[in-house]
Structure 1
Amino acid sequence: MSSELHMICNYKKCKKPLLTRAWVTSCSHAFCQEDGAREFSQGENKCPACKTVLPQKYDIVEVDLNPSEEFKSMVLAGMRIETIFEICNRAVSFWNYQISQQYMFHAMSAKRAKDAIAELETVHETAVGKLTSKLKMLTNRMKDMKEEEKSLQQRIADLNQQLSLKNQQVQKLQNKNTALKQRCASGSMSDYVEDERLHAYHHHHHHRVPNARPDFRMAPRTLVGSDHADGCSQRVNTEFLKAVPAAARGTGFHFEPDIPNAQFDGTSTLFSVSRRSSDGSKQKSKS
């Protein structure tokens, strides 16, 4: 007999195959040796499967599932044929009931398994959908971040280019400043002073007021010509203190400090130039 046709213990928590000995009941249930001996030895002859009361002597029988040949030869010997067929019919009915219950049990187990699988598939599909959506979102975000990174790199490149140009301008200004400092240190400002002297001289003759006696006063902070409205302000080096009087000699201009007891420190200075008009009044402005 194949193992697929073996009866199983009808106890709910057991369900193991019945191979050697079994406890059978008149309500068509079978139990393994351990469960039957435990349940039926308590004095309550009640079926553990259907809770049917079993009061009769042959309502619970312990049987040998592998009887000897002598037992098979003698168990039905001498009985009438009707009795033999009735006994066989009842035994076959018991077998069919047990096999049908077994199939029902397996079908129920398969249904529970299918339901669990369907539920797991639903959970799996939901999880896959969420992960797919999240993956799509992350992919789009990564694409946006790459575009932003590209834009930032371009901006950094532009800023680096601007910084390079600014550095070049700063370097040029530093070189120019260094050259000017060297010229000041070596006394090479004479050309600049001469240009300023000539510019002031020509500017005065170009705007000279008729019948006015030019009389300029020199101060160590400003140089302003009073013969025009805006004051003729010029920033020059203090070497102009030596150059202007010589240039203006014979022109009627007079230079004198506007601040008493002023001291010259050798740096660039603004001069205040005032001019007296023909009536002797003084016109003066500062910048």
Structure 2
Amino acid sequence: CDLAGVCADASDYERARELLQLARSIQEEVGAAGAEVERTLMGLANAHAALGDGAEAKALLQRVLAEQEQQHGRDSALILPSLEELAAALARLGKYHQARSLLDRALRLKEAAYGASHAETARTLHSLATVLVATGDYWRGKELADRALRIKEQVYGASHPEVASTLGTLANAAGHLGDHAKKEELLSAALCIREHAFGGGHRDVAVTLANLANALGAQGRQQQKKHMLQRALGILEHLFGPDDAEVAAALSNLADAHAAFGEAQAARDMLARALRIQERAYGQ
């Protein structure tokens, strides 16, 4: 399992999955049980999730949670890691209402175990806020994200990447509520934090640039939107190469920006390139 962890840290999820499946087979042969098996199943679930098999990740995490609830009880803080991992897996599958139910439980357990102003509580507040925004409960999501932000700023300081993550959730809520200027303000702050923390060529910087571009476009600032999307595309191409699925998504967004300027040929070229990437990645 240690070698599998090294592989996962290096983003070699196929190898990590192979090693964890081997470890699981050995554990089954010798009748192993308990925490070591749970760690293997959790690692295997994470590998499946990283490889796009969300359904298998969910099934493994449900098994771990059920076993931990039976062993420790439904109100034990010991079940929190699997509870939150399962919520994340459900959210990735678009099952936001199920994720919300689990995160509501996790928040109650965190507040009881750590208090209302602990970093762990803020982490769950952030996750729950993100799910609430995804389900259209924008005001409640904003309220919880504001709580998370206050805690994180106090615990980590105002320039920590954890703060940037919650600024992003607040920005998403603001955009859905029609306040695109506020969305721009929040994302600009998040961008500054991430550029300072990670450098200008990090994936999180590219994601923030793309979101900021949408906020600018919603305010009619198409040239700035286009510039931000070009920067985001350049970062993703440098990180992942020209044929990555994330590059395809960036190309599609940039094609829309070109179309807004009447640059039809450039838009068509980018969409055609994005389609070729997607067909290679997912098939026709």
When the two structures are superposed, what TM-score results if normalisation uses the length of structure 2? 0.18
Whose strand proportion is higher, 1 or 2? 1
User: Relative contact order (C-alpha < 8 Å, sep 6+): which is higher?
Assistant: 1
When the two structures are superposed, what TM-score results if normalisation uses the length of structure 1? 0.18
Computing the radius of gyration from Cα coordinates, the structure with the larger value is 1
